[in-house]
Structure 1
C-alpha cells in the first residue's frame, strides 16, 4: 500500500539517530543521505525520507509526503484524475520521473491540507 513517506525534520542528525536505531530491529538500514536529507528502510529501497527543515517556506505544503504504490501506469493516472476531481491541486501529472530512476512513474497532488501525496508505479 505505502511506497514511501517523507518528513520535514528540525534536526536531521537527531532524527537520523532516532529512526536508524528505532527501525533497525525491523530490518531497516541507513540509505542515501547528505546534509539535507536521509533515507532509511529496506536495503533495496528506503521507505522513510527525512528532509532538513532549513526554514524555507515550502510552497507545496507543510513538508509531509506520502507515496502510495500503484499496480500500473493506468492506476497512477486514475489516482491523479480522481484526486483533482475531489479537490486536490496538481503537483505533477502522471508520467516518468527519470531524475528519480529510469523506471520511476508517478503523479503528485497536494491534498486539501497541503500535504504532498503521490502514486508511484515501480
Structure 2
C-alpha cells in the first residue's frame, strides 16, 4: 500500500532525473494515491522549499498554455487572449498546478545519491566479477 513516503521518493527521483516540471497527476499515476492527498503533500514539500508551485493557464477552446510575462498578473474574471486568438475569461477550471524541483534541492539530491542506472550497472559489474 502506498504512503506519502512514496511521494517523497518520487520527488527525489524527479530531482535526480532531467524532469524540469511535473503535474500532480504524474505523481498520482506512479504512487497510486488519491490526487487530493498527492496535491496536499506536494504543497507541504513546497513549504519545505523542495518544490516551487506554478500555475498554467489553458485556453478552454484549444488547450494552448498561456504563458504570462513576468510583470503580468491575472485575476479571476480577467479576459485573456491565447496565442491562437481565442478570448476567454480566467476561471478556476483554466488553471492547472505545475510543480518544479528547486535547484538547491536538486543539487542536494544529486550530490548524495547515485542514479538508479549507476547502481544497476555497478551490480552487474560486481556480479560479473569485474
TM-score category by the smaller chain?
A: under 0.3
What is the TM-score when the length of structure 2 is the normalising length?
Answer: 0.22
Higher helix share: 2
Higher relative CO (CA 8 A, sep ≥ 6), structure 1 or 2? Answer: 2
Specify the structure having the higher radius of gyration (Cα). 2
What is the TM-score when the length of structure 1 is the normalising length?
Answer: 0.23
